[in-house]
Amino acid sequence: MADQNTGLPVRTEADLDDERLHVKVVDGTSPAVNQMSVDADKNAHVESHGNDPAGTDRVVRTSELGSTSVDGVYGVSNNTDPSNSALIGHVRQVSPADTDQTERVTAKQGSVNTTVHALDVSLHDENGNAFSPTNPISVSVVDTEGGDPVNKYTTSSTVISGASVNHDYTVTALKTLSLRQIEASGSGKLKMEVKIETGVASGIFNTKWVQFNSTANPNLSLELKAPESVAAGVRVRVTLTNLENPAHSQDLYSTISGREN
């Protein structure tokens, strides 16, 4: 009678010595070496694998907390197809490609302030329209500049018609004055010249601004949209001339304003 090629069902008992059937998951080529292991938490130790851009099998990496590691920095050898989810800046190009993803965005940490790699910014309104002269962005101007405020007030009494007086301010040593505003006034007509000295105690002044008042506008106000920087020891001079005719004496007033740093 020929042998019959059949199998019998397998039944196991409860764990008594070695009566329970145990199953090993092994590699078909090297079963004695490549076996799946189970850790103390009764979890099978399984590694995740995948193919890189060239088709080579790679083990998927994780962080110390078990999170899958995602690398967004391009590398010519180790990361030719970086993940685009990371905050990595492209080198400015007409058509940025993956190979341009090499700029790590920086931030200032403490007092460290080295080379900056900044992101390009394109601002749009809530409807997605770019800001332009016909679609301006709304701003509020607030003076947040530090330093010591300067408001140098000077008055000259009974200045005769045709005469001039100088009201000077000398910038404090080791500081720089950011000249912001000049105010002048008198009871009659006058001329105001604002001058900056060419150097410390040079005695030579360059006229920067000139204004005249009138009966309708007796006060002169010069507000500098671009503040003038004046070095330490240099004088700011406001020359006021009485232009009253017929001749009348008048008191002349001025204030030099800015900040010193």
The answer to which of 60-69, 108-117, 168-177, 182-191 has the lowest mean pLDDT is: 108-117
Residues 95, 98, 99, 100: is their CA dihedral positive or negative?
positive
**CB count in 10 Å sphere of residue 212:** 12
**C-beta separation of 90 from 79 below 8 A:** no
Q: pLDDT digits over 218-260, tens only?
A: 999 999 999 999 999 999 999 999 999 888 999 999 999 999 9
The pLDDT of residue 200: 97
Domains of the chain, CATH where assigned? 43-77+86-138 (no CATH), 148-260 (2.60.120.230)
The pLDDT-based confidence of 16 (bands split at 50, 70, 90) is: low
Q: pLDDT digits over 34-88, tens only?
A: 888 888 888 887 778 888 888 899 888 887 877 787 787 788 888 888 776 657 7
Overall average pLDDT of the 190-205 stretch? 97
The pLDDT of residue 155: 98
Residue 8 has pLDDT above 80, yes or no: no
Which of residues 153 and 144 earns the better pLDDT score? 153
State both tokens at 163. Answer: 């005469």
Q: pLDDT digits over 73-124, tens only?
A: 788 888 888 776 657 788 888 888 889 888 877 766 555 556 677 777 788 8
**C-beta separation of 74 from 101 below 8 A:** yes
What is the spatial distance between Cα 211 and Cα 191, in angstroms, rounded to a whole number?
6
What is the spatial distance between Cα 76 and Cα 125, in angstroms, rounded to a whole number?
38
